[in-house]
Chains A and B, each alone.
Chain A
């Protein structure tokens, strides 16, 4: 009897189930619908791929891309590459002769990256937080976002040229250019990161009567702290790469010997500088990776 009762209730539940959902569409009709959508989407995708391919080909033609020309002149590059740049003995002699100069230029490059990142970081932090839609109203956020976008639109080389006017030829102009670039890029990344956080703890903190600044400090910044640190380390890497070419426009570091060697058509020296940049960038990256690893390990150990 108890069993029958159970079955009864089950059937009732089952009926309510089908009645509640109300099968308005049949399986066949819905399948046709889905197939139609799929065919339309497929046609759209094929069209898109074809369109983009044609567009790229046309643009490349317009730029003057000519594979036949490039192939015919391959000798020029091969001669320089294997005759002068990748000639081990000549390169070794060059490195020994230029060693002290390259070392000091590398240290200068590193210093430009470090000082530039350090100068840009606090401003990026402030503007980044102000540009997050979860923190500030549109009246504040929009102009800040616009400013960050404007800063990003100008290449670092142009900032370097500008700051050479202010600070004269040398590393100071380079560091200032790096700082401005860092503000534009990191500010944007900080803002986007801030918009991704869980807002419920922020509400919990605000419900205690905390104002905007204390709520941000108490519930927002702790959520993004490790991400911000990781981005900053990544920017230190990028800035080391950037500052190694700013010297091309006279803003200090390894870029200066690089452009001088190019002008003198001393390609062996060019290769020596390129090698130094490579070692520098890889070292910074290795240290940054190690720091990031420690960071993650530390967080895990906290738990």
Chain B
């Protein structure tokens, strides 16, 4: 269980997150919706540990959520070019490995095998040695997911992971994410711009408007009108 307890985050005069509280359950994929600038990215970055809330707490199973326990999938893959697919996935383990290993490019066989396993999980069997520049947008995003899984997180976050993909590819990438959350019993939170895509994968919805939480409902009690209201707000 991930508990977000009255989290505030302010940039200058702008309130990016205003008293946000929510609970997310294991094995469930929660979709975070809201207009641009509503605070979705800020919330995800606070959960990932890239930013610290000005006040409020974030706990997983009653312990403060550690950076190494939360993995974030970025919008456009955010892969390191010049490295192979495998090396990018191995980056997911950087938080628990000593720095000299990365300096020498030396990884344990166990980590490498796990990374290849992750790649097969996201449907990229046989891709390990390719360079990331050769990949399509959808494939890059799958590598991003594999890297996040390599981190062995308890919480899997994704910030508009399909924003730059065509609908069909987007659907495929989302289902990879959803499957990872369910099979590994992770706590999943994904921000999405397209409610229609969200309907395929969402177990639960959170909606933000102007930094405030305006929607917190299970997917079965949410219809298109409810979602439209989140975007109409403010």
Give the interface of A toward B (CB within 8 A): 2-3, 6, 9-10, 13-14, 16-18, 20-27, 30-31, 33-35, 37-38
Contacts and interface: CB of A to CB of B under 8 A. Distances in A.
Interface in B121-138: 123-126, 128-129
Contacts of A18: 123
B123 A30 contact: no
Contact of A17 (B112, B116, B125, B175): B175
Given A6-B219, A17-B179, A34 B116 contact: yes
Contacts of A25: 125-126
Contact of B126 (A3, A20, A30): A30
A23 B124 CA distance: 8
A10 B175 contact: yes
A31 B125 contact: no
26 contacts: A6-B200, A9-B200, A10-B200, A13-B171, A14-B179, A16-B175, A17-B172, A20-B172, A21-B124, A23-B120, A23-B125, A23-B126, A25-B125, A25-B126, A26-B125, A27-B120, A30-B116, A30-B125, A31-B109, A31-B116, A33-B128, A34-B112, A34-B116, A34-B128, A35-B112, A37-B129
A20 B123 contact: yes
B83 interface: no
A17 B200 contact: no
A15 to B, nearest CB: 9
Contacts of B126: 23-25, 30
A14 B174 CA distance: 10
Q: Is the interface of B mostly helix, strand, loop or mixed?
A: helix
| 10 residue pairs, one from A and one from B, having the closest CB atoms | A21-B123, A13-B175, A23-B125, A25-B126, A31-B113, A30-B116, A25-B125, A31-B116, A34-B128, A27-B116
Contacts of B113: 27, 31
Contact of A33 (B129, B179, B201): B129
Contacts of A3: 220
Nearest to B175: A13
Nearest to A45: B105
Nearest to A41: B105
A18 B183 CA distance: 15
Interface in B96-117: 109, 112-113, 116-117
A16 B125 contact: no
B178 interface: yes
A199 B171 CA distance: 32
B221 to A, nearest CB: 10
A34 B171 contact: no
Nearest to A13: B175
B165 interface: no
Given A10-B200, A13-B172, A24-B125, 14 more contacts: A3-B220, A9-B200, A10-B201, A13-B175, A17-B175, A20-B123, A22-B125, A23-B120, A25-B126, A27-B116, A34-B112, A34-B116, A34-B128, A37-B129
Most B C-beta atoms less than 10 A away, residue of A9, A30, A31: A30
Contacts of B116: 27, 30-31, 34
A3 B129 CA distance: 41
B176 interface: yes
B128 A10 contact: no
Contacts of B220: 2-3
A17 B176 contact: yes
Contacts of A9: 200
A34 B219 CA distance: 42
